[in-house]
Amino acid sequence: MSIKTCLESLPWINAAYVAKAPSKIACLELNPQGIEVYRQQGRAHLLALINQHLPEALISELTLFTDKLPNQFDVIDLEQKLTQGIKDPEWHSCQEKDNTYVLQGQVPVDLLYFRDHFDSFPLVPGVVILRWIKKQAQKIYPALDYVGQVKNLKFQNFTQPNDLIELTFIWDKDKQRLEFKLETAGKPSCKGYYFYA
């Protein structure tokens, strides 16, 4: 039985891509059960579970987990994602109405920060969430390049692998402030204000 067939027979995996030898690179599409194991027990635990069911421990740290395999593989791109890590969510849409922008996206299953941050219960660190917010604010409002202060910053609910996220910006020109709100799976995750000098 090939390693690909063996992987695809496991209860956590829908599909697998395994690069040809000598490379030990793999990309595994997790099913909902696999994603839940990753979310609740972490990356290292899922790797250990998978390796327990293989004839040889062939799946290593050079494995990328995803919720959907791409139609075609670019091995160089996959190697880059494994070595440099995926650092940002996948933003799917951005809508604007009356000085309000709403972006919708999804946290990748195998975000770089899940490899060592709360290893047994992966969470997006607050500082990373703030970086995402600032990066999107700079794209939408390029003239606002210097944040003077962050005020009323509040973190409420966890942001985890594969979560759907919604980021809202509301610009108040009179107060020179940008209100931001991030919701995770429909629940408030982070909110606050950027004040510009």
Instruction: Tell me the CATH number at 168.
Output: 3.10.129.10
Among 84, 112, 128, residue at a domain's last position? 84
Q: How far apart are CA 59 and CA 69, in angstroms?
A: 17
Together in a domain, 149 and 179: yes
- What is the pLDDT of the chain when averaged over all its residues? 89
Residue 130 CB partners (closer than 8 Å, separation 6+): 150, 153, 190
Together in a domain, 71 and 94: no
Burial class (CB in 10 A: 0-12, 13-18, 19+), 129: buried
Nearest to 193 by CA among 130, 105, 103, 124: 130
Q: How far apart are CA 174 and CA 195, in angstroms?
A: 11
Together in a domain, 110 and 28: no
Residues of the chain predicted below pLDDT 70: 1, 21-23, 56-61, 117, 197
Together in a domain, 106 and 186: yes
Q: How far apart are CA 179 and CA 193, in angstroms?
A: 4
pLDDT given at position 34: 97
Residues 168-178 pLDDT 10s? 999 998 998 99
Together in a domain, 41 and 122: no
Domain count, the chain: 2
Nearest to 41 by CA among 30, 29, 56: 30
Together in a domain, 19 and 107: no
Residue by residue, DSSP assigns 95-129 as EEETTEEEEEEE--TTBGGGGTSSTTS----HHHH
Through-space distance between the first and last CA atoms of the chain, rounded to whole angstroms: 63
Together in a domain, 55 and 76: yes
Among 24, 57, 84, residue at a domain's last position? 84
pLDDT given at position 61: 67
Together in a domain, 45 and 108: no
Helices (H) and strands (E) in the chain, counts: 5, 9
Together in a domain, 180 and 166: yes
Together in a domain, 45 and 96: no
Q: Do the beta carbons of residue 10 and residue 46 sit within 8 Å?
A: no
Among 18, 50, 84, residue at a domain's last position? 84
Together in a domain, 71 and 118: no
Together in a domain, 61 and 111: no
3-state secondary structure of 34: helix
Q: In terms of residue numbers, what domain contains 192?
A: 90-196
